[in-house]
Structure 1
Amino acid sequence: MQAWTHTTVLLAEAVDALVTRPAGCYVDATFGRGGHSRAILERLGPAGRLIAFDKDPEAMDEAARMGDARFEFRHASFTALGALVPASVDGVLMDLGVSSPQIDNPARGFSLRADGPLDMRMDPTRGTSAAQWLVEAAEEDIARVIRDFGEERFARAIARAIAARRQQKPLTGTAELAQLVAGAVKTREPGQHPATRTFQALRIFINGELDDLAAALRASLGVLAEGGRLAVISFHSLEDRIVKQFMARHSREVVDRRAPFAAPQALPLRLLGRTRPGEREVAANPRARSAILRVAERTAAPWSGEAA
């Protein structure tokens, strides 16, 4: 079996921002292939603890090889971090999106450059595959998903082509879908495959990525202790917008207009900034070029758990 490798993005920057208490408890909310987890464990002392989440069964196999008593893996979506003890965590790291092994292995159905089954599920043991959904979904729903989650201006034309093709036979392979989309897209940015946005949209929708992200961000505020850090690495504008707006909404001072001279309402986060990969990292790993790391710190302010 081929070993699919993953180069961890913004590794030193994320761990530097996250780990402030060597004896603390930390969460790697998106374990992947364990790059961030291993670096976090190197920073922790004997009393430190790391809990990792991932719903990909292949991540579970990698976690089984960690061999560190301070490490605990949970085969679950990062939305499950809300089940941790309130205010018990000193840092939460989220590395969003799809990992290189998932993209590079055609059998996972994420790749548009190598043929494989049209699956796209992070956890292939649960839920509906992309192929199944494309058979059952209305043309209008397909267009909406591709437009909203892929920011694809030719969404209607692509949905129309998919609906026409499935009248003949269902779409079952990634190469077939990529070719079909390429024929429906009139123009594309230089260097980008015509089906890139469509594949992104289907992957996000099939896995409920944006809803899960919003839920995990909300949960993080409940489990972070005062002074704990929230560090999030995003790779495209949709998820980064959610992270940016969440952090901004929970860090801006709010003045009660009914009592304008009163002290501003305390909020649960304090922004610590953002970081992008340097030229050397992008040159070594082109997939890092769109990454943004945003970091915030939990304050002493109470949080009611309202929607993000």
Structure 2
Amino acid sequence: MRMDWRDIPSLSSLRAFESAARLGGYSAAARELNVTHAAVAQHVRGLESHLGEKLLQRDKKGMALTATGRSLADSLAEGFGMIVSGVRAVTDEKTGRALRISTTPTFAEVWLMPKLGAFWSEHPHISVQVQPSMGLSNMRADDIDLAIRFGHGSWPGVDVVPLLMSPFTVVCSPDYTPEDRLEDIEDTSGFYWLFSEFSSEQYAWGQRIGIDFHEEGYRELASNALTLSAVRSGHGVSIQSRVLVEDDIASGRMKVLYEGDPENIGYYIVTAAGVLSPNIRLFRNWLIKNAEPVATLEELASGWDDVEPD
């Protein structure tokens, strides 16, 4: 599309308005842009005159956006953010800045870190910093290049790519119960259900196995790593994404009482919308390549000669 700059107000006025809208006033915008309060106000008035629309107005709390102002502010935030991403993609490659990767502590420990050595061997010139975190980062504000998050993948304002859609499993230690199938256990009220305090998927997964955890009760631990340790030690039962307990199952430290379809709940790669640097694209593609597909339920069932499919 051909850009006609005659139809666009000055970038200085757009930048002043975006800053005032984001920070909630002229004074804060002036400090951020290192100009005077009067200069910001003049830019905003000039922008309003150019557009023939009121963008900011005073209220009891200070400055408030009009509906038109909110729409323009959102568009400018996205547009300037893409400009920042594009410039950073160029400068980061020149300076060799480390990639900043954010992911949950458990996923970092169980899945990412054991594989990361291979990435460093293949790409020794690219430095990677892993920052364990439970929250979905504000990618640009927190200076995060790529995040790996668990959920449905429907987060606004970011680009999302599926990484691992793993079945969910009900797991416990082999000594916790003599039964090997959840459906063979008539009463689970005596079970200690263990979850991380940051997890929410257990409610949806509980409905899938016919358990309401609001009624049956459960115990929350400070992290999923502590939850997995407690399960291994025989202190309770948990519902986990299978990819996190694969090694425990293979080694016999845990057994699977039930396995269900994830239904689009899984791990996703999250990046800021806009231009990605070559190194971020390379790391994202490496993650996808190394996410070996977990066997489907049908494939798993084909190996269960002693179990009738549901």
Report the TM-score when normalising by structure 2: 0.25
Relative CO higher for 1 or 2, CA cutoff 8 Å, sep ≥ 6? Answer: 2
Higher strand share goes to which structure? 2
TM-score, normalised with respect to structure 1: 0.25
Higher radius of gyration, 1 or 2: 2
